[in-house]
Structure 1
Amino acid sequence: MSLGPWEIAIIVLLIIVLFGAKKLPDAARSIGRSMRIFKSEVKEMQKDDETPAQPEQQPQGYQHPQQIEAPQNLQQPNFQQHYQNQPQQPDYRQNYEDPNRTP
């Protein structure tokens, strides 16, 4: 199925009617810019794929986390002792009566 000259003329006429003759040059210009940007990005991606990646340099004194030794004499917190030394809070629920409760 190929487009003949009449079909192409009708399509062009519809585009002019839909977008207006004043907006067509701006639309074509923006499409051209978009195509240039797209092509340059594709070239940059291809260039990045061709060049080998260089390893990042670590700052001086940096040690990988697996190379750092953990301290051996860490004390575990004693939570039971902590809670035993806390003053007892009164239980306010003991004498609470629900005002919405019907007998």
Structure 2
Amino acid sequence: MLRNASEPWHLIVLLGVCVLVFGSKQLPEVARGVGKSMRILKAETRALHPDPPHPAASRPDSREP
């Protein structure tokens, strides 16, 4: 169903619709806002899932007596 969804003319039409809806002067502000939102979302999802312990830290070192 979505095999041909990323053809170049689809992106051109999408960009044209965005320019018509938001105007060419507000597009950088909209893009900045989306970028900030994505960074916040990524930081929050990282905070929900703590990092697993490093595998080398839990493995005993064979060099120690």
Give the TM-score, by structure 1 length.
Answer: 0.42
Richer in helix (by share): 2
**Alignment match, 1:21:** 24
Residue type at the aligned position of 1:45: L
Q: Which residue of 2 aligns with 1:56?
A: none
Displacement of 1:5 in angstroms is 2.2
**Identical columns (%):** 35
- Please say which structure displays the higher CA radius of gyration: 1
Q: Give the 4+ runs in structure 1 shifted more than 3 A.
A: none
Question: How many residues of Structure 1 are paired with residues of Structure 2 in the alignment?
Answer: 49
1:31 corresponding residue in structure 2: 34
Q: What is aligned with 2:46?
A: 43
Which of the pair has the greater relative contact order for Cα pairs under 8 Å at 6+ separation? Answer: 2
Unmatched segments (≥5 aa) in structure 2: 53-65
User: TM-score, normalising length from structure 2?
Assistant: 0.62
Q: Which amino acid aligns with 1:9?
A: I
RMSD value, Cα: 1.9
